[in-house]
Amino acid sequence: MILADVSLATDDTDELARLADLVGRGNVVVLTGAGLSTESGIPDYRGPDGRRRVTPMTYGEFVASAENRRRYWARSYVGWRRFAAAGPNRGHEVVAALQDAGHVRTLITQNVDGLHQSAGARDVLELHGNLDRVLCLQCGDRSPRVELDARLREANPDFEVAVGEIRPDGDVVLPEDAVACFHPPRCLVCGSDELKPDVVFFGESVPKPLVAQCFAEVEACDGLVVLGSSLQVMSGYRFVRRAAAHGIPVAIVTRGQSRGDGEATIRVDAALGATLTELAHRVGLTRYAAPSPS
C-alpha cells in the first residue's frame, strides 16, 4: 500500500468537513476513476491539466486487422504481469470500509483493475469491464485472463523485452520487431483470433442496461461522490449531470481540473489516499488514524 503524505489547504479542509457530513449521513453513490489507482502504481490517462497523456488502441483499430490485434496482445501480455501485481491502496481500502459501514449505497467504477474488489468492496458496478476476463467477439465465449496468460506464455516462451511505464489499460509500448515475433491468442471454442479483454475500449459504448442501473442508483441517492476522475469522458460525467439535474449534491475529490467542477457542490483538490484516510477518521471509522499534522 502506498499512501501520499500531503497536507490540505484551508479551503480544502473546509470542503472536507462538508464531504464528511455528506458521507456520514449515508446513502451516497461513489463513482471512481483512474486517479484512485495511481497510488497503486497504475498511471491514469490524463495529467493534472486534463489532457490525455496516452492514446490507447480504439475498438475500431482492434477489429480492423489481425496485425492490430497481434500488436495489442503483445503489449498487453508484457504489461499484464505488472498490472496484475498491483494491489489496492489506502483509497480502495477506505471506500470498501465506507461501504461495509453502510455509508455507501452503490460503488460505480470506471477502472478495469479490480482493485476495489481486492480491497473488499462488494457488488461493484464496473462501467468499463475488467481486464481479468477475456471475450471472444465471434462466439461470445468468456474465459479468465489468467488462463489466457498461461496459454500465451506457452506460445511465447522466449518473449522477453525491456519495457517502460505501464499504461492505465495494462499494456506497454513495444518495438515493432518484437511485436512481429509474438504469437497472438485464439479462442479455444471457435478458433477465432478475435479475442478481446472484456472491457469497453475507446470507441465502444457502456452497455445500456448497466447505464440504466447506474442512473437509477444515482437518482435514489442522497449524494454523489466522485473520486479520482477528471470526468472527461461522458461515461462518468453523465452521472454528475443527472445528479445535478435532480438537485442531488455532487462532491468531487481529484487532483487537477474536472469536467464536473461546474456541477460540484463540494470540491477537494488533493491526493486521494491521505484525503480518504482523513474522511474515514471524520465519519468514525476508528481503524484509520488521523494523518499527522505537517
The cell for 67 is 496485425
- E strand spans, the chain: 28-32, 104-109, 125-126, 129-136, 142-144, 195-199, 223-227, 250-253, 266-268
Query: Backbone phi, then psi, for 177, in 5-degree steps?
Result: -65, -30
221 assigned binding-site residue: no
Strands 195-199 and 250-253: unpaired
Name the helix (H) or strand (E) containing 20: helix 10-24
The cell for 201 is 475500449
229 assigned binding-site residue: yes
117 assigned binding-site residue: no
Catalytic, 281? Answer no
190 assigned binding-site residue: yes
37 assigned binding-site residue: no
Of these residues, 103, 116, 128, 246, which one is catalytic? 128
245 Cβ contact partners less than 8 Å away, ≥ 6 residues apart: none
136 assigned binding-site residue: yes
What are the beta bridge partners of residue 28? 104, 223
111 assigned binding-site residue: yes
Give the closest residue to 79 by CA, choosing from 189, 206, 166, 180: 166
214 assigned binding-site residue: no
Annotated binding residues:
110-113, 136, 139, 187, 190, 228-230, 272
Question: Any idea which residues carry the catalytic annotation?
Answer: 128
Annotated binding residues for NAD(+):
110-113, 228-230, 272
Annotated binding residues for Zn(2+):
136, 139, 187, 190
